[in-house]
Structure 1
Amino acid sequence: AVVVEELWWKELELAALEPNRTKEKPETALSRWARAGTKAAKVGKGLLKDEKAQKLALRHWLEAIDPRHRYGHNLHLYYDVWSGSESTQPFFFWLDIGDGKEVNLTKCPRTLLQRQCITYLGPKERQAYEVVVEDGKLVNRQNKNLVETIEGTKWIFVLSTTRRLYIGQKQKGRFQHSSFLSGAAITAAGRIVSHGGVVEAVWPYSGHYLPTEENFREFIGFLRENHVDLTNVEMNAIDD
């Protein structure tokens, strides 16, 4: 099953870049978004296991279907130029091969666009980030180490719709919330502080998923179900 999923991801990535040569009518901005949305919806297909799950924020859909997974914020700046043009070329074709390949924005130069690519983990790769709760403490499932977040750095988590917890260090423009599940829907996402496996703080913040209060309650419920002591845990929303 893992092999099939890996191949499916590659197939989706190739399909996202291929221009649609069969279209006869010019595309409007709305139809472009609709087509992009159809592809983005496939990213979460089969992974949406509960009705409360949160999908990737709209502005980051482009990142999910980009073969290179360039940072969604950066891609959106170029998308705005494309949507304001009269080009009928699909966005990624326009950006990399077609009429927009020479466009170079001051707010996001091509060098930055190409450099900031988000890591999207496959089924095997994400196993290294999976965390379980043992005796009320967070433990890396693979190496059995207690989760230790490093001072001065930001650590993020997602709880999948199958209630698997993943934790890792955030690296802006490289490793973010969308990395863990390759842009698929999540039950909860945010920031976390843990020392010696003991949870000290959790915040419901994710620019990629924009988690709701309900998503955060789901995560707190997950921790309680696994006997994590939340008595002294800081739980305030923050800005990033």
Structure 2
Amino acid sequence: MDHAHAAVKLQNMYRSFRHRRMLADTIIMELWGHAIDFARLNISTTFFFQCMNERSSNTRWTRIGFNASMVGRGVSENDKAQILAFQHWIEAIDPRHRYGRSLRLYYNQWCRSNAGNQPFFYWLDVGDGKVIDLPECSRSVLQEQCVKYLGPLERNRYEHIVSGGKVVHKQSGGDLHTQLEGISRGRDKWIFVVSTSGRLYVGKKEKGRFHHSSFLAGGATVAAGSLVVEHGILKYISGYSGHYRPTDDSIYRFLSFLGEHGVNLNGVEIDKVTPVIA
């Protein structure tokens, strides 16, 4: 299947989002731009080459379309939604969810190589690329860094709400406390996302294992960043996220969300968004 056909398949998939809800033109252009890049991967995951003997190519496309659709899940619910940056699309469609920043290094190598008709994931795991071991990210590190993508039941354990002006765990009702005594902010980083349906999820970041993409399994967000909360009282917010690259607007939406739920924002330290270099 050539790149043009792959691009048409993706265009049809995302057109359904537009028909369900009129998204902003900028969102449509962003999705289509990603779709063109995504087509360069030959729309292949390990599932693709594991089922090469299947009679129906439609079966393969159904599986591939499902992986791709996870990236845009939630976009149709909110015209302010933000999807994953492209380097982390690769992470999302990889069945192993290997860390996107590391996968991108191997993707760049694949682009430079004479891989012929070998799709990226085939090249990486089975084909000519399986012997490649990059100094910037060894093969052992690539295989070890698999990002956890939460399912619906697992996600519930990370959901928080605002009650009495405090950030509390939804299930237990306990105050969120992100810092242990003597632990610096930089060493004990807690991250959050707000889903397109307005749910707040908070958890501790683990590089290469648990990131912003973990909470919603690669789905769209309306806000993402890091925070410091002491016994339920918000102290610090940062809008940084390499996975979603939020704008300052997304932080303002998060602040508005908190204010509407009774959080006192006086004295809260707020870091504006800084550009993220791929």
TM-score class normalised by the smaller sequence: 0.7 to 0.9
Q: Which residue identity is paired with 2:203?
A: G
1:100 alignment partner in structure 2? 129
Q: What is the deviation of 1:46?
A: 4.2
Displacement of 1:226: 0.2
Find the counterpart in structure 2 of residue 65 from structure 1: 93
Alpha-carbon distance in 2 for matches of 1:120, 1:55: 15
Q: 2:268 aligns with which of 204, 229, 233?
A: 233
Query: How far apart are residue 216 of structure 1 and its match?
Result: 1.0
1:111-149 CA distances to partner (integer Å, 9 max, x unpaired)?
Answer: 100111111101110100000010110111112211000
SS at match of 2:130: coil
CA offset digits 1:179-230 (Å, max 9, x no partner): 1001111000001000111101111110110001111111011001101000
C-alpha distance in structure 2 between counterparts of 1:147 and 1:139, whole Å:
5
Q: CA shift at 1:40, angstroms?
A: 6.2
1:50-71 CA deviation, whole Å, 9 max, x = no partner?
Answer: 1111110111110011111111
- Cα distance in 1 for partners of 2:219, 2:124 equals 24
Greater RCO (CA < 8 Å, at least 6 residues apart): 1
Whether the 8 Å CA contact 1:16–1:39 is kept in 2: the answer is no
Find runs of 4+ consecutive structure 1 residues off by over 6 angstroms.
37-40
Over the aligned positions, Cα root-mean-square deviation in angstroms equals 2.0
Tell whether 2:87 aligns with 1:52: no
User: Does the CA contact (< 8 Å) of 2:73 and 2:219 recur in 1?
Assistant: no
Please state how far the C-alpha of 1:86 moved relative to its aligned partner. Answer: 2.5
Q: Tell me, what secondary structure is at the counterpart of 2:265? A: coil
1:158–1:180 Cα contact (<8 Å) kept: yes
Q: Is the 8 A contact 1:40 1:61 kept in 2?
A: no
Is 2:241 aligned against 1:206?
Answer: yes
1:108: how far off?
0.7
For residue 113 of structure 1, what is the amino acid of its counterpart?
Answer: L
CA distance in 1, matches of 2:128, 2:88: 23
Whether contact under 8 Å (2:193, 2:202) holds in the other structure is yes
Q: What secondary structure sits across from 1:105 in the alignment?
A: coil
* 2:178 aligned with 1:146: no
* Counterpart residue identity of residue 255, structure 2: I
Distance in 2 of aligned mates of 1:68 and 1:140: 29
Of residues 75, 80, 90, the one that matches 2:103 is 75
1:43 aligns with 2:70: yes
- 1:116-195, aligned counterparts within 5 Å? 116-150=145-179, 151-152=183-184, 153-195=188-230
Distance (Å, rounded) in 1 between the aligned partners of 2:113 and 2:105: 13
User: Taking every aligned residue pair, what percent have the same amino acid on both sides?
Assistant: 47
